[in-house]
Structure 1
Amino acid sequence: MNKKKIVLGASIGNCVHVAGVSHFLDLAEREGYGVVYLGPAVSIDSLFEQIKKYKPDIIGISYRLTPENVDLLLKQIDSRRKELSYCPMWCFGGTKPVTQIAQKYEMFAFISDGTDDINDSIRFLRGDKLQGGSESYGKNFRERVNQNYPYPVLRHHFGLPSMEDTINGVEKISEAKVLDIISLGTDQNAQQYFFNQNNMRKEYDGAGGVPIRTKEDLKCLKQATQKGNYPLIRCYSGTEEVFKYAEMLVDTIDNAWTAIPLCWYNELDGRGTRTIENSIVEAQQLIKWHADRDIPVEINEPHHWGLRDAHDVMSVAMAYISAYNAKKLGVKDYIAQYMFNTPSGLTFSMDFAKILAMIEMVESLKGDNFRIYRQTRAGLPLFNPDLDVAKGQLAATTFMQMAIKPHIIHVVAYCEADHAASAEDVIASCRIVKGVIRHTLSDMFSIEKDSEIVKRKEELISEAKVLINFIENRFVNYEDPLANPEVLAESIKRGYIDAVHIVKNSKFRGNLTTKFVDGKCVAYDKETGELLDESTRLKRLLEIENSLLNKIS
């Protein structure tokens, strides 16, 4: 049996500040080390007595007082290291001015001034070379997540209206070592007309993101990530020529994963000209295309319904249907995105109940060949245009997100309600999120056990199953209805799957109206004010259908 490695930690000299040492030892213990905590104001003599007693593999010392005083202490330690019969690894923590003194001593394998990322401490404890290039951080999505968990990796959207500014921004973000995945935002012209650029409208260049016009543009952005912590890079799927677009992203930026909506980016939302029937077929084919190449897939579907004021049941049902389709199409690594604060009228507790319901439904599909990664994010409607208020909102929603132990946090810049994020805004937002993670990672708070949250979660799961079973029974003559594009399209057209913001016409015949009651988004009858459970809502839709059929006949 392998002997457990030991980390010994102490604040030396007359320094009584031990929070940093204690936190480092907590990380070490979580990484499987045995830990020895000597406490504050440990003399050099006492330090070496304990080193000889425990023979630790790593010695972590800290000093947070006057820089001039630490120099004498470190000289003593450096001189006395020869007393030891073996060569342990030494690391040091302190304020910036103090660590500048420590950097003069070659004995330290790792120095932390408190502004570095917690991941650097974890990587040091795992024996990774801190200057080891992309391999040290993880060359792909799976490596990145597995090397960090339970610390979530961070993803952030970034794309400015200028190629030059975007490249420079990617370099700044990479060098800051605060972000693991840069989610490239391209302008709508690129998403829709990259392969038909004669159709681009010049006045829309740079609207919504970076104006990618050549494959070389993408390669330059990938190259800009090759520094700092070597963040992965990914990009949203195109809205036209989707297979050529996907292949281009794999070839140019080694797309970390793909994000594909099942039912959107078409006539429903105006982000493309495809019919819903064709887009669902293409979405499924595109999901399978990536699955066949073992590329992780995110189906960024459920929040699209919540953003358009669908009731909570709809988001829960669509979370399950999305994951079901991914599994059916052969995806092995599925990224389930959970957008908090959507729609914006939800209270934190009822929003959390909805997220828990989604997780339970989605993870009922989990298996050896279908791995599920939880990705959380804040909803855009949450943020206030007042930037100071928005910073507080970002911290608050991150606290809630950490309660579900995410693998990925999709950071939304606090400034989004005021302006598109610059590189500096991205870095600042990531640092806010990291500050929250640092104080919640080891906390075992159990918000999910609150009785009202449990009650709402169970209610949503039950109601979502009503909708799912209804679709399966209504289209019982179709093979595998939940993964059948014709069934999904027809369910949207008939309003079984519906959102308030879908423009209703002869093709899309739903009549969903919603309102907020006790912090929940629920369906109701606009004329009578009656709240509608899912059975009643669907029954009334059938009555309208039958009435129309009778008129026609």
Structure 2
Amino acid sequence: MKILAGAIGSDIHTAGILNFLNLARNEGYETIYIGSVIGIDKLLDSIEEASPDIVAVSYRLGKESCEQLLRELKVSLENRGIEKRLIFGGTVETAEVAEKSGLFEKVFDGSEMPEEVVMFLRGKTDEKGEVDYPQTLLERIASKKPYPLIRHHIGLETVDATEEAVRKLAESGLLDIISLAPDQNCQQWFFQQENMISSEDGAGGAPFRKREDFERMYAASRTGNYPLMRCYSGTRDLLKFSLLLKETLNNAWAAIPITWYSQLDGRSDRELLEAIRDNQAAIAWNGGKGIPVEINEAHQWALRYCHAAVEVATAYLAAMAAKRLGVQVYVAQYMFNTPPGISPKMDLAKALAKKELIESLEGDDFTVVTMVRPGLMSLPADPDMARGQLVSSVYTAMNIDPDIVHVVAYCEATRRATDVEIIESVKMAKQAINEAIKGLPDFRQDKEIHEHKQYLKSECKVIIEAIEKIKTGELTSPETIYTAVKTGILDAPGLSKMSVAKGAVRAAIIDGQSCAVDEEGKKIDENDRLTALSGANKD
């Protein structure tokens, strides 16, 4: 494909055209730059000489002069019988004129991010000539490389408000994935609605009560860039929820924990062993249907202030469980800035330790997708400070080459996000992403990061070996995981009041690291912690 481009009329500005041609060359186009201050006759002579597939013209000097210039262009094209795909670039003012002229296939007004231009250059069309947006996760990821997919969640106080927000988010073209956030009544009691507490309708999410509610959300998303749709899994009846979401949303992937949504966290009343069995059955069902699966396990431990070794171990165990249960595409989530106080260096070391262990399991039947997100607990209540934290977190997370960036709106420390705050937050995140894609230092070569990463991998090995000694059947069987929690091999300070967990471990941030500590607050390794734990369990 060949693109010819230049600035027409008396316009001397060239930066926009040159940037566009640079992006086009990177996408494999042959490019021809004919300069600035190009008269219409010279433009058409160049078109006839070069015979390009696409002609890109730029003009920035004013509305009235642009109108006159484009009228001349239209007449001259007709007189010479030239028919080409035309693209326009300019200011908001001149772009509006170009849109009204009807001459151009695509008009850029300067507000677009590089990613949007690249997506246009890659655009595939269907039989109707409309852009064909991939509707499976791996295809969508491939279509946007090197840019990660953008995900955000939405769940407002009413179904109507959520539906309208989904439509606006899709029309914005900024999100590739919209995650629906149902209220807790829905997540826990959708299939047993007689148990719902009406005073809690809309608390924490949208009050979806009917199959048709999910169908409405999907229909609302069929506009703009046709984002992938998905939804939280529910905290009980996970198999029924999985089928519902597959049939109504074409669920992009399922997110199901191993131990959570049970008596462990109080988000359902299921006993822990029963919950682990149910959760693994739902994971296996989705895997068997070819639906990608995220096991949202490790960051739930981190949110209860577990030390880094347990977080790394639970991330690795979750991936091993996914592979054993037949998951073919595994979405590995990395929540940064968690627990609060961890330094960016040690956060990266922890993420890289998890990533290397998880990706060691990859093979022909097991593909790993990397998803990063800011930690909600890291967002300050002050909105300006929260904006800064969001950008900082996304920029740091780009160091592990994510396929998906799960944006968390800057306002979520104090209130749920509407489509307005989500769009603002996504734009901030995209700017951080675009800067990072230009080139980051290789932090994998940093001595402290490398050493701490290796240390965490060795500590994870100690935990895995301890679980091997008490396992029943497979290492990731429900009975084995249950015993690992009950005996305190897997433990977190935030579970100290939970009767089903040991809740005996102490943790602290020391030199930016999330560590297990003894009664005096001194850092201890896993061998020491587990040896002491073994003695306490015997007593």
* TM-score, normalised by the number of residues in structure 1: 0.90
Contact 1:496–1:510 under 8 Å retained in 2:
no
Would you say how many aligned residue pairs link Structure 1 and Structure 2? Answer: 539
Question: In the alignment, is residue 242 of structure 1 matched against residue 234 of structure 2?
Answer: no
Question: In the alignment, is residue 535 of structure 1 matched against residue 531 of structure 2?
Answer: no
Partner residue in 1 for 2:508: 515
| Closer, same or farther: CA 426–311 of 1 in aligned 2, 3 Å | same
- Counterparts of 1:347-358 in structure 2 under 5 Å? 347-358=343-354
Question: In the alignment, is residue 145 of structure 1 matched against residue 138 of structure 2?
Answer: no
- Aligned partners of 2:382, 2:521: CA distance in 1, in Å? 35
Q: How far does residue 401 in structure 1 lie from its aligned partner after superposition?
A: 2.1
Q: How far does residue 10 in structure 1 lie from its aligned partner after superposition?
A: 3.5
- Aligned partners of 2:364, 2:37: CA distance in 1, in Å? 50
- Counterparts of 1:249-268 in structure 2 under 5 Å? 249-268=245-264
Question: In the alignment, is residue 209 of structure 1 matched against residue 201 of structure 2?
Answer: no
SS of 1:427's partner is helix
Contact 2:178–2:227 under 8 Å retained in 1:
yes
- Counterparts of 1:115-134 in structure 2 under 5 Å? 115-116=111-112, 118-129=114-125
AA aligned to 1:479 is G
SS of 2:291's partner is coil
AA aligned to 2:485 is I
Q: How far does residue 505 in structure 1 lie from its aligned partner after superposition?
A: 6.4
2:470 to 454, 466, 475: 475
Partner residue in 2 for 1:274: 270
Q: How far does residue 50 in structure 1 lie from its aligned partner after superposition?
A: 5.9
Over residues 30-76 of structure 1, what are the superposed CA-to-partner deviations in whole Å (9 max), with x where a residue is unaligned?
Answer: 32223445566566677567656654433333233323333454455
AA aligned to 2:234 is G
- Aligned partners of 1:517, 1:459: CA distance in 2, in Å? 15
| Closer, same or farther: CA 440–418 of 1 in aligned 2, 3 Å | same
Partner residue in 1 for 2:398: 402
AA aligned to 1:446 is D
SS of 2:523's partner is coil
Contact 2:491–2:502 under 8 Å retained in 1:
no
Range 108-117 or range 221-230, more displaced: 108-117
Q: How far does residue 119 in structure 1 lie from its aligned partner after superposition?
A: 5.0
Contact 2:4–2:33 under 8 Å retained in 1:
yes
AA aligned to 2:511 is D
- Counterparts of 1:269-308 in structure 2 under 5 Å? 269-308=265-304
- Aligned partners of 1:249, 1:278: CA distance in 2, in Å? 23
Q: How far does residue 462 in structure 1 lie from its aligned partner after superposition?
A: 2.0
- Aligned partners of 2:202, 2:498: CA distance in 1, in Å? 32
Question: In the alignment, is residue 108 of structure 1 matched against residue 99 of structure 2?
Answer: no
Partner residue in 2 for 1:24: 20
- Aligned partners of 2:94, 2:2: CA distance in 1, in Å? 26
Q: How far does residue 522 in structure 1 lie from its aligned partner after superposition?
A: 0.8
AA aligned to 1:349 is K
Partner residue in 2 for 1:338: 334
Range 27-36 or range 356-365, more displaced: 27-36
- Aligned partners of 1:539, 1:159: CA distance in 2, in Å? 45
Q: How far does residue 259 in structure 1 lie from its aligned partner after superposition?
A: 0.4
- Aligned partners of 2:157, 2:521: CA distance in 1, in Å? 46
- Aligned partners of 2:311, 2:304: CA distance in 1, in Å? 10
Contact 1:124–1:130 under 8 Å retained in 2:
no
Q: How far does residue 384 in structure 1 lie from its aligned partner after superposition?
A: 1.3
AA aligned to 1:435 is Q
| Closer, same or farther: CA 45–133 of 1 in aligned 2, 3 Å | closer
Contact 1:134–1:230 under 8 Å retained in 2:
no
- Counterparts of 1:131-210 in structure 2 under 5 Å? 136-210=132-206
1:495 to 488, 491, 494: 488
Partner residue in 1 for 2:58: 62
- Aligned partners of 2:499, 2:117: CA distance in 1, in Å? 60
Question: In the alignment, is residue 89 of structure 1 matched against residue 85 of structure 2?
Answer: yes
Q: How far does residue 27 in structure 1 lie from its aligned partner after superposition?
A: 2.9
RMSD: 2.6
| Closer, same or farther: CA 26–517 of 1 in aligned 2, 3 Å | farther
AA aligned to 1:227 is T
Partner residue in 2 for 1:551: none
SS of 1:237's partner is coil
Over residues 87-121 of structure 1, what are the superposed CA-to-partner deviations in whole Å (9 max), with x where a residue is unaligned?
Answer: 55321111111111222444422111133465543
- Aligned partners of 2:458, 2:48: CA distance in 1, in Å? 61
Contact 1:123–1:130 under 8 Å retained in 2:
no
SS of 2:372's partner is strand
- Aligned partners of 1:381, 1:26: CA distance in 2, in Å? 40
Question: In the alignment, is residue 425 of structure 1 matched against residue 421 of structure 2?
Answer: yes
1:385 to 373, 381, 384: 381
Q: How far does residue 385 in structure 1 lie from its aligned partner after superposition?
A: 1.3
Contact 2:263–2:500 under 8 Å retained in 1:
no
Contact 1:133–1:229 under 8 Å retained in 2:
no
| Percentage of matched positions with identical amino acids | 40
AA aligned to 1:543 is G
SS of 2:495's partner is coil
1:311 to 300, 307, 320: 307
| Closer, same or farther: CA 145–503 of 1 in aligned 2, 3 Å | same
Partner residue in 2 for 1:33: 29
Over residues 333-361 of structure 1, what are the superposed CA-to-partner deviations in whole Å (9 max), with x where a residue is unaligned?
Answer: 11111111111111122212211111111
Contact 2:86–2:106 under 8 Å retained in 1:
yes
Range 195-204 or range 44-53, more displaced: 44-53
Partner residue in 1 for 2:215: 219
AA aligned to 2:239 is F
- Aligned partners of 1:511, 1:146: CA distance in 2, in Å? 45
Q: How far does residue 506 in structure 1 lie from its aligned partner after superposition?
A: 6.4
Unmatched runs of 5 consecutive residues or more in structure 1: 549-553
SS of 1:406's partner is coil
| Closer, same or farther: CA 179–133 of 1 in aligned 2, 3 Å | farther
Over residues 111-137 of structure 1, what are the superposed CA-to-partner deviations in whole Å (9 max), with x where a residue is unaligned?
Answer: 111334655433331242499699712
Over residues 470-520 of structure 1, what are the superposed CA-to-partner deviations in whole Å (9 max), with x where a residue is unaligned?
Answer: 322x136x4331x21111111111111111101356643352111111111
- Aligned partners of 1:53, 1:319: CA distance in 2, in Å? 60
| Closer, same or farther: CA 503–529 of 1 in aligned 2, 3 Å | closer
AA aligned to 2:307 is H
Range 171-180 or range 200-209, more displaced: 171-180
| Closer, same or farther: CA 225–544 of 1 in aligned 2, 3 Å | same
- Aligned partners of 2:330, 2:279: CA distance in 1, in Å? 15
SS of 2:494's partner is coil
SS of 2:132's partner is helix
| Closer, same or farther: CA 27–440 of 1 in aligned 2, 3 Å | farther
Q: How far does residue 529 in structure 1 lie from its aligned partner after superposition?
A: 2.8
- Aligned partners of 1:451, 1:18: CA distance in 2, in Å? 44
- Aligned partners of 1:535, 1:19: CA distance in 2, in Å? 60
| Closer, same or farther: CA 542–22 of 1 in aligned 2, 3 Å | farther
- Aligned partners of 1:519, 1:68: CA distance in 2, in Å? 59
